[in-house]
Amino acid sequence: MVTDPSSRRVELFVRSLSPAPARSPVDDHLRRLRALAADGSVADLSVDVWGREVGLSTTAARTDAGVHVLDRVAAFRAWAERRDVSLDLFFETRAVGAGLTGEPHTALVLPVCCLAEYDDDGLVHVAPYATETAVHSVSDRIRALERESEGTERRDGRDTARAGAEPRADAPRPVGTVAESVATTEERSPDPADDGPPAVGR
């Protein structure tokens, strides 16, 4: 059964909301999601700042903040497994140098942004994710919600679904292409505003 987007709650997870020298993709995501919430296309929008990483081998991973993030990620991975898609490109476990803690530790590195959608039955969608053939970004998913809300593509006054139309700039990127590399980098790379909140579990 397909859920009416207007009944969904959406949650955007970001590394930082601090002002950045350059425009961050997060700014555009927030603008578009707020527009959807304002016109009732989604039932509710919340934003959760989760930092750059969660230290898995530190006591901070057992704090309320650490548990909150890890519980969310576990739910996202369960969703991905049910859908036979992968989140591995965007949630990486890696060894981290001594840094401020004075000792190396293992950390879960979080994406720059992540979008989760919920209905009355729980989690129904997560972005970004990857299939064997394409990467589906946060921007892709927001655009899908916009299209569902609008019924037709109205950007630039054109219906891009017509025969011979150019592919949308925010369409899923085939794996192994330059476009896929750009999309993946946007989700994984250090946010320009990363000098803001510290990581969870450092």
Mean pLDDT (whole number) for 163-177:
47
**What's the pLDDT tens digit per position in 180-200?**
454 555 566 554 444 444 455
Report the domain count for the chain.
1
On whether residue 162 sits in a domain, the answer given is yes
**What's the pLDDT tens digit per position in 38-54?**
999 999 999 999 999 88
On whether residue 165 sits in a domain, the answer given is yes
On whether residue 200 sits in a domain, the answer given is no
On whether residue 194 sits in a domain, the answer given is no
On whether residue 198 sits in a domain, the answer given is no
Inform me whether the pLDDT recorded for 131 exceeds 70: yes
In which domain, by residue range, is 140 found? Answer: 5-188
User: Which residue did the predictor score with more confidence, 66 or 136?
Assistant: 136
**H or E stretch at 157:** none
**What's the pLDDT tens digit per position in 78-97?**
999 999 999 999 999 988 77
**What's the pLDDT tens digit per position in 100-116?**
656 777 889 999 999 99
**What's the pLDDT tens digit per position in 142-160?**
999 999 888 734 544 544 4
On whether residue 111 sits in a domain, the answer given is yes
What predicted TM-score, i.e. pTM, was given to this entire model? 0.74
Q: For residues 49 and 138, what is the distance between their CA atoms, to the nearest angstrom?
A: 16
On whether residue 199 sits in a domain, the answer given is no
Place of tokens 């292409």: 177
Calculate the average pLDDT of the chain. 78
On whether residue 9 sits in a domain, the answer given is yes
Q: Angle at which helices 25-38 and 138-150 pack, to 10 degrees?
A: 20
pLDDT-based confidence at 166, cuts 50/70/90?
very low
Question: What are the backbone dihedrals phi and psi of residue 149, each rounded to the nearest 5 degrees, phi first?
Answer: -70, -40
- Give me the pLDDT at residue 174, please: 63
- CA distance readout (Å), 161 to 95, 105, 154, 155, 171: 45, 49, 10, 12, 12
